[in-house]
Amino acid sequence: MTPAERRAGVSLASIFALRMLGLFLILPVFSVHAKTLPGGDDLTLVGLALGAYGLTQALFQIPYGIASDLFGRKRVIALGLLLFAFGSFVAAAAPDIYWVLIGRVLQGAGAISAAVTALAADLTREEHRTKVMAMIGSSIGLVFAFSLVGAPLLYGVIGMAGLFALTGILALGAIVLLYKAVPEPPPVSGHDKLPLRRVLLDADLLRLNFGIFSLHLIQMAMFVVVPHALVRGGGLPAAEHWKVYLPAVLLSFAVMVPAIISAERGGKMRPIFCAAVALLAIVQLSLAGFGEGLWPVAIGLLAFFVAFNVLEATLPSLVSRTAPPSAKGAALGVYNTTQALGLFCGAALGGALAQHFGDNAVFVVCAGLALVWLGVAASMNFPPRRRPQAVHT
């Protein structure tokens, strides 16, 4: 990687991390705090307040992606971060659950994921693109692990209003980082754009979009019940769950890096991608059959994070390679829309299955979905590696 590519990867991963940190810090403590707000005793409203972010993300990813193709990546990213920060400050000042809901809707409207990943693709050559996507994916995993540890501590010091305000401040800081650290991208490729219908109906992109939907549905569904398994079967209090999550995330990176290098340099993208999807199914089946006890859950989480991080890094890279250059932002917008829908559907499905059929039903259904995805992945056309190309600096 050139210095410009490394700088692009680190700075864009940091922008993602700053934004995701604000979101993840809220998740472990919001349901507890909501009970202190007027209207917060209505669990439906609490669920809507948490899930509204994902729904508005799904609505705005495609428009943001198309806009980034037309008007430039940085402008669209900055606009999205400003809107996200505004929503954070609205939620910080919320007098009741309804204003928190409005703030979360505004946060989700700052849907910059497609534009950021498109910018990462613009600034890197194909042979290094998965590495940069891995940086972004790894930063999300690290921030998630940190939030599990830090959220209860910060909540005790600055409260929920402080957490929302911190979220807004971090988003504003990400704008500064965007213009100070991220290299300038090449100019947009013009206004001769492919119809969105062709992006939506492209068979290879559909397979990749189904993959990211499945990955995040499985993630959210299993994390509805994994905390219960750690408490009930592992005897680990909720405040100490980070002792399992953090080592699992960190160790998974040590396995993910050589896997991605082998996929990129060794031309083994297809077998490694399919192996990661198969590992997802194995993890879900093992948790369904052997999920009682601390060590089975801990080992299952380590294997899950290995598969998750490999797929989280390779999927957007494959989308950026498969999409036509003039519609890269639009394609990544569709991709991130299906990702957000997967998050929302996973949380809803996981809760419904656990309530009516028990925790094991969640793992069994997730295993079935992973096996369907494995069949889809086996029929994918993996774009061949192109010859090394110069990168815009």
Query: What pLDDT does residue 280 have?
Result: 94
The amino acid sitting at 323 is A
CA neighbor of 274 nearest in space, from 305, 314, 303: 314
Query: What pLDDT does residue 392 have?
Result: 45
Full set of structural domains in the chain with CATH: 1-183 (1.20.1250.20), 196-382 (1.20.1250.20)
pLDDT per 10-residue tile (average), the chain, 393 residues: 80 81 72 78 72 79 82 89 93 90 88 82 74 72 73 81 90 90 71 63 89 90 78 73 80 82 76 93 89 82 89 82 74 82 80 82 94 92 61 43
The CA distance from 331 to 334, in Å, is: 5
CA angle 261, 74, 15 (to 5 degrees): 55
Query: What pLDDT does residue 239 have?
Result: 66
Query: What pLDDT does residue 214 have?
Result: 95
What does each C-alpha distance from 384 to 1, 126, 227, 261 come to in angstroms? 19, 10, 41, 15
Whether residue 17 contacts residue 140, with contact meaning beta carbons closer than 8 Å, is answered with yes
The amino acid sitting at 260 is I
